[in-house]
Amino acid sequence: MAENTPVLRLDGVCKSYNIGTSIEVEVLHDIDLVLQRGEFVALIGPSGSGKSTLLNIIGLLDRPTRGRLFIEGQETSKLNDTAITKLRSHSIGFVFQYHYLISAFTALENVMMPLLVDHAFPTNEMQQRAADLLAQVGLTQWENNLANNMSGGQQQRVAIARAIAMNPALILADEPTGNLDTKSANTVFEMMQQVNQTNGTTFLLVTHNMDLARRCHRIVEVVDGRIVTPSPVRDST
Amino acid sequence: MNRWTPFEWITALRFLKEGRMQTIFIVTAVAIGVAVIVFMSAMLSSLQANFIKRVLTSQPHIQLIPPDEFARPLRPPAPGRIAAAIVQRPAQRIRSIDQWQKIKSQLSEWPDIVTVSPTMTGSALAVRGAASRSITLTGVDPEVYFKIVRIPDYIVEGQPRLLTDDILIGTELAKNLGASLGDKINVSAATSASRTLTITGIFDLGNKGANQRTTFVALRTAQALSNLVGGVTTIDITVNDIYAAETIAQSVEAATSVEADSWIKTNAQFFTAVNAQQTSNTLIRVFVGLSVAFGIASVLIVSVIQRSKDIGILRAMGTSQGQILRVFLVQGGLLGFLGSLIGAAAGGSAVVFWHAFMRQADGSELFPLILEPSLFINAVLLAAVTGVVAAAVPALRAAKLDPVVAIRG
């Protein structure tokens, strides 16, 4: 990928759902958005404005009804499920509000999971990489604990480590601090900032917390399925 | 995590481990089903083997008898005339198989045939004092015949010795005549020839009727009593493959022009019973297999619902639909495999236990213990395959879960 190719580009993306058999409701209207490498962008908006739908489309979990979506310069509308899955695995990391670690696995194994799914490295290298990532989020001592035995903040840090395991270009964080106390929320946010600065990973952070949003490079606001504050791309360096 | 274990296996094993109670219950259910199948199949095989052993150690696999005599009208009607005739079936007298020595040597060279024993069978009257009983007199060459019908195994008193003046009789006949070992009885044949013979052995064939009627004498003795010196009325045969007896009998019949009856033909009722048993056993296996399959499927469907968020997360992390599908297929296979291992061991142990404790009145075993390794291997493989097949529906459901919906729950 060329250095100046945006990590994410949306051209006129629309999404509509059929309600019943004939009524079609459009929830996203002509979304244009560009995220450059190394950006840390907050996505804000009231509940029901279409943030999560937009995030699902960007995360290749859902497909737009119209418009085009580019991930690292690759147009995604014509990709089949296998190619979409591969692109998602390599280019996009997810951090969800409810961290969603797999309870059957330890913290280390949860972080290893994307590598294992992708057969990315030999197992010992995967283990080493997962251990390094857990060290990066300050959870070395917890690596053999099952997810259920950890606090919400710790689980979210594991989720961040898991999201960056494949070294993706883009991390989508859907209210990752929404379920945490202020101190833990701050720790998690700083951790994401650290990853952003260290690895140059682009972050798109959905949040209702304006204090955190203001600490991002820029804010994109969605209201009624439209971007209402398209701020210019800030120099992330 | 093992270095070589793929993602699907690791995830399947962890899911099963985490849902411990569900796993234990369904593995137990599979184990019970497989144990029933193994127990029933092993019992049936053992009982069948026992029946076959009993039948085939008391009769030849194939018996050759002279063809029936029939009446031939001596005057065929003249051309252009129609003659009405009543052709009466002649009485079947006891007669020898024509050229039986030639047939015997011909059969001895037959590759499928193991033993060939000419015998002389006729009816006679056994008399001792005031008591007399009608008997079937079978003249045999003991060295060959006892390889076919294991009379020595059934001897309860004396020895299976057959010299010219010896006779072996059944327990019931001995009781009726009030005779015991070493006693002499007079045997009168229908030809009015008679001979005094010494009881050298008393046998128990396990059948009252047979013990009343059956007697064995030397071939020459029977030939003399039946007035058929040098003749034989039957040729008894054993073959390598007992289930090929009917086919071999037909070939022998075609090659020798004598009538050949296989044990399969003469024990048609036994085969009907065996088939009925096999059918009912197959039906039970099918229904047990179905209940095992539905059990595994229902547990996995619940598991898919419980784990929809995990599935969504895995999909978001780049897990393909195929990988999710395989995670659940592996779980189904593992449940079937583990359950069947336990079930096969339990079923096998139950058969051994049953065999050890169930005895006949005389203390001998009720049935021979036959535990074929193939039964266990097939049961385990079949259960594992059933598990995979049963997991297909829940696995497809899991693979097709929309990750957005799954994560949202």
B403 at interface of A, judged by CB pairs closer than 8 A: yes
Q: Give tens-digit pLDDT for A28-56.
A: 999 999 999 999 999 999 988 888 889 99
Residue ranges covered by each domain of chain A: 40-62+80-220
What residues of chain A, 160 to 189, have a C-beta less than 8 Å from chain B?
162, 166
pLDDT at B316: 82
Three-state secondary-structure class, residue B181: coil
Phi and psi based region of residue B182 (left: phi greater than 0; alpha: psi -120 to 50; beta: remaining): left
- Closest alpha carbon within chain A to B4: A123
Least CB-CB distance to A117: which of B4, B7, B18?
Answer: B7
How far apart (Å, rounded) are the C-alpha atoms in residues B94 and B90?
12
How far apart (Å, rounded) are the C-alpha atoms in residues B11 and B325?
12
List residues bridging with A9 in a β-sheet: A34, A70
Q: Is there a domain that residue B351 lies in? A: yes
List residues bridging with A74 in a β-sheet: A71
Number of domains in chain B: 2
How far apart (Å, rounded) are the C-alpha atoms in residues B167 and A38?
109
Do B181 and B250 sit in the same domain of this protein?
Answer: yes
B20 at interface of A, judged by CB pairs closer than 8 A: no
Least CB-CB distance to A104: which of B18, B318, B323?
Answer: B18
Least CB-CB distance to A105: which of B3, B14, B319?
Answer: B14
The topology (CATH level 3) of A40-62+80-220 is Rossmann fold (3.40.50)
pLDDT at B371: 82
How far apart (Å, rounded) are the C-alpha atoms in residues A82 and A90?
12
How far apart (Å, rounded) are the C-alpha atoms in residues A105 and A45?
34
Instruction: Please give the model's pTM, rounded to 2 decimal places.
Output: 0.70
* Number of Cβ pairs < 8 A linking chain A and chain B: 72
Best mutation target among B5, B311, B317 (most A Cβ atoms within 10 Å) is B317
How far apart (Å, rounded) are the C-alpha atoms in residues B347 and B41?
10
A166's tokens: 């494949």
- Predicted-complex ipTM score: 0.79
How far apart (Å, rounded) are the C-alpha atoms in residues B409 and B309?
6
Do B109 and B246 sit in the same domain of this protein?
Answer: yes
Helix (H) or strand (E) holding B271: helix B268-306
What residues of chain B, 288 to 327, have a C-beta less than 8 Å from chain A?
309-310, 312-321, 323
Q: Could you say which residues of chain A have pLDDT below 50?
A: 232-237
Cβ distance B315 to A85 less than 8 Å, yes or no, reads yes
pLDDT at B3: 45
8 A C-beta contact, residue B326 and residue B8: yes
Do B210 and B353 sit in the same domain of this protein?
Answer: no
Q: Is there a domain that residue B75 lies in? A: no
Helix (H) or strand (E) holding B168: strand B166-170
B97 at interface of A, judged by CB pairs closer than 8 A: no
Chain A residues whose CB is inside 8 A of the B319 CB are 85, 117
Cβ distance B315 to A124 less than 8 Å, yes or no, reads no
Could you list the beta-strand ranges (E) of chain A.
8-19, 23-35, 40-44, 66-71, 74-75, 92-95, 170-174, 202-206, 218-223, 226-227
Q: Is there a domain that residue B77 lies in? A: no
Write phi, then psi, for B356 (nearest 5 degrees).
-70, -35
| Maximum C-alpha span of chain A | 55
- Closest alpha carbon within chain A to B309: A100
Give residue B200's domain range: 100-257
A112 at interface of B, judged by CB pairs closer than 8 A: yes
Do B173 and B250 sit in the same domain of this protein?
Answer: yes
- Closest alpha carbon within chain A to B310: A102
Answer with the one of B200, B235, B257 that is the final residue of a domain: B257
8 A C-beta contact, residue B122 and residue B190: yes
Do B360 and B284 sit in the same domain of this protein?
Answer: yes
Instruction: Profile chain B (409 residues) by mean pLDDT over runs of 10 residues.
Output: 68 89 91 90 82 77 87 77 79 83 91 92 91 93 90 91 93 94 92 90 88 94 89 92 89 89 85 81 86 87 85 85 91 92 93 84 75 86 89 90 76
pLDDT at A2: 56
Q: Is there a domain that residue B399 lies in? A: yes
pLDDT at A236: 42
Do B320 and B388 sit in the same domain of this protein?
Answer: yes
Do B236 and B282 sit in the same domain of this protein?
Answer: no
pLDDT at A21: 65
Q: Is there a domain that residue B158 lies in? A: yes
How far apart (Å, rounded) are the C-alpha atoms in residues B320 and B8?
11
Secondary structure tally for chain A: helices H, strands E = 7, 10
Answer with the one of B257, B289, B310 that is the final residue of a domain: B257
8 A C-beta contact, residue B190 and residue B124: yes
| CA distance from start to end of chain B | 29
